[in-house]
Amino acid sequence: MREIIFDTETTGLDSRDDRVIELGGIELVNRFPTGKTFHHYINPQGRAIHAEAQAVHGISMADLAGKPTFAEIAEEWLTFIDGAKLVAHNATFDVGFLNVEFGRLGHPVIDNGRVVDTLALARRKHPMGPNSLDALCRRYGIDNTRRTKHGALLDSELLAEVYIELIGGKQAALVLDSATAPAQGNENVRQIEIIISQRPAPLPPRLTEAERDAHAGMVNTLGEKALWLKVVGN
C-alpha cells in the first residue's frame, strides 16, 4: 500500500484568492518511509503573503524570488502522488488549495475518496484534544524541537510518525504476508514466513503411574473443603 503524507504552506487562508507557496510530501509503502520525498517552494505570481501567514511559516516574498510557479511543478507532483492515498492534517484546507490550483490549470480535482484526514482521526481517538500537530507530537513522544516554524516537508515527516501512532502504533507497519514482498519493492521490509505444523503423533505423558498414584494420595489428605478440589472440579 502506497501513501503520500503531505502538507502545504500558503499566502493566506482563502483558497479562492491566496496561493500555495510551499508543497512537500514523503512516500510511505506499507507504512514505512521509502526515502522518496517531494519538496518545492512556489512563486505565488504576485500574490502578497499575509503577515499572519508569514508569522506562521516564515516564508517571505524574497524567499520565493526565482522559484517555479505551481504550473511548473504540477506534473511532477501529480506523478509523485499517482495511485497513492493522500494523508494530511486538516486535509480540507490543503486539498482545497490544491484543487483551486489544479482548477486554474484545467486539471481534475483530487478525489476525496483517496484522502485521509489525520485531524479527523485524532478527534475520534482523542475527543478531548488538543489535536494540533504539535500537541500530537507531545502526546506520542515524537521529537518536534526542529519545528520552530511550519514547513511543508518537515511537517510531513512529523505527520508520518503521528499517523502511524494514530492507526495503531509501530506494529501497524509490520507486513506479515511474505507473498506481497516482491510486488512492494521495499528493500527496508524483511518478510518472514512462519509455518507451524502439527505433530504426527501426540507426545506420550510425562507422569508415571506411580507419580499419579502419589498425587491422588496427597489430594485425599486435603479434606473436603480444600481449594484444590474446586480447581480440578472434583
The answer, yes or no, to whether residue 107 has pLDDT greater than 50, is yes
pLDDT in tens, 44-74: 999 999 999 999 999 999 999 999 999 999 9
Q: Decide which of 222 and 67 is more confident.
A: 67
The answer, yes or no, to whether residue 118 has pLDDT greater than 70, is yes
Say what the pLDDT of residue 231 is.
Answer: 60
Mean pLDDT computed over 120-142: 95
Q: Taking the alpha carbons of 9, 73, 98, 127 in that order, is the dihedral positive or negative?
A: negative
Catalytic residue among 40, 107, 150, 215, which?
Answer: 150
Say what the pLDDT of residue 116 is.
Answer: 98
Among the ranges given (107-111, 115-119, 151-155, 194-198), the one the predictor scored with the smallest mean pLDDT? 194-198
Q: Whole-angstrom Cα distance, residue 92 to residue 86? A: 12
Could you tell me the CA-to-CA distances from 124 to 62, 114, 117, 184 in Å, in that order?
A: 41, 19, 11, 31
Say what the pLDDT of residue 15 is.
Answer: 94
Say what the pLDDT of residue 198 is.
Answer: 64
Across 130-169, b (16+ Cβ under 10 Å) vs e yields: ebebeebbebeebebeeeeebbbbbbbbbbbbbbbbbeee
Stretch (H or E) spanning 44: none
Question: Is 57 noted as a catalytic residue in this protein?
Answer: no
Say what the pLDDT of residue 140 is.
Answer: 95
Mean pLDDT computed over 135-153: 91
Say what the pLDDT of residue 228 is.
Answer: 64
pLDDT in tens, 6-39: 999 999 999 999 999 999 999 999 999 999 999 9
Say what the pLDDT of residue 173 is.
Answer: 46
pLDDT in tens, 157-201: 999 999 999 998 664 444 444 344 444 445 444 554 555 566 677
DSSP for 152-220 reads HHHHHHHHHHHHHHHTTSGGGG----GGGHHHH--TT--------PPPSSPPPPSS-HHHHHHHHHHHH
